[in-house]
Amino acid sequence: MFPIHRGRRLRINESIRSLVRETSLSPADFMFPMFIMEGENTKVDIPSMPGIFRRTLDLTVEEVKELFALGIRAVNIYVKVSDDLKDNTGKEAWNDNGLMQRAIRAIKAACPEMIVMPDVALDPYSIYGHDGIIEKGDVANDATNDALVKMAVSHAKAGADFVAPSDMMDGRVLRLRQGLDTAGFHNVGIMSYSAKYASAFYGPFRDALDSAPKDADVEVPKDKKTYQMDYANRIEAVKEALWDVEEGADMVMVKPGIAYLDIVREVKNAVDVPVTVFHVSGEYAMIKAASERGWLDHDKIMMEQLMCIKRAGASLISTYFAKEAAILLNK
């Protein structure tokens, strides 16, 4: 009670503030999402994501080494698939010599201690840009799960530490756990995108992988709202996370990040596994665009948002700012 209690006593200078700070950030809190393409010694700008590139495998490996030296211990990898390899079955996704499988092997060979979490979803491999197999005008849940198991097992064979299903099919975590265990990969973990919302914040990511839903000569859903979550819902997110934990998820994810911190806290309070938060491409792009115009201080806003995600309950933050933030923290 004032004047006995004065909160400002604990804010007088940075030394005191640092002593009582409730949340801290380190490079080990970050996972860096990486886009990989075919070719050699090439990187391609993604215009809607300044500073982020699609890299060929050789340059990806060099970047991974730099990330590890900065203290970052996990990468979440995605591949840009050639159009001639796309179909409605997604069969390229479990090609043992596919780009994703070669990328996993190369990263683990060059930097064995880097945790590799490849994306598990069919949208980069689909001619329709959806996360699953199209049947009768919709995404077929169970047929897609069969394909995802093949994909995950191929990732495990290549050396993945975790698989990261981002598809939002019902029951896929249980099917993946059963498939991995049957194939002998008991120690390969599952980081499930449990509360992945149908968000407009994903636009730049879809530019990077050409994975947005496409017009087709057959009936297909115009968007991903039949499987990704309605952003009006909160209780559903907790339910999805709890189901995934019951099915065998080792980590659960909330996606997007800053606009969904209430969901992060709800999920954190409900589950007994680590919670990952994806600070997504649109959130990244907005900070870049505003700072380029001089409207915001880039580094201050970047660090504030990352700290707020951690404060809300994130054990791990997947963010395109990982490298920049790690460099600042190391200073």
Query: Is 240 known as a binding-site position?
Result: yes
> Could you tell me the two tokens for 319?
């963010």
Q: What angle do CA 155, 270, 263 make, to 5 degrees?
A: 80
Q: How far apart are CA 307 and CA 283, in angstroms?
A: 14
Q: How far apart are CA 119 and CA 255, in angstroms?
A: 14
Q: What is the dihedral of CA 202, 205, 207, 212, to 10 degrees?
A: -60
Residue 138: partners with Cβ closer than 8 Å, 6 or more residues away: 221, 226
Residue 212: partners with Cβ closer than 8 Å, 6 or more residues away: 129, 206
DSSP code for 230: P
The radius of gyration of the chain from alpha carbons, rounded to an integer in Å, stands at: 20
Residue 153: partners with Cβ closer than 8 Å, 6 or more residues away: 94, 179, 180, 183, 185
Supply φ then ψ for residue 89, to 5 degrees: -95, -25
Catalytic residues, by residue number, are 196, 255
Q: How far apart are CA 285 and CA 305, in angstroms?
A: 13
List, as residue ranges, the binding site. 240
Residues annotated as binding site for Mg(2+)? 240
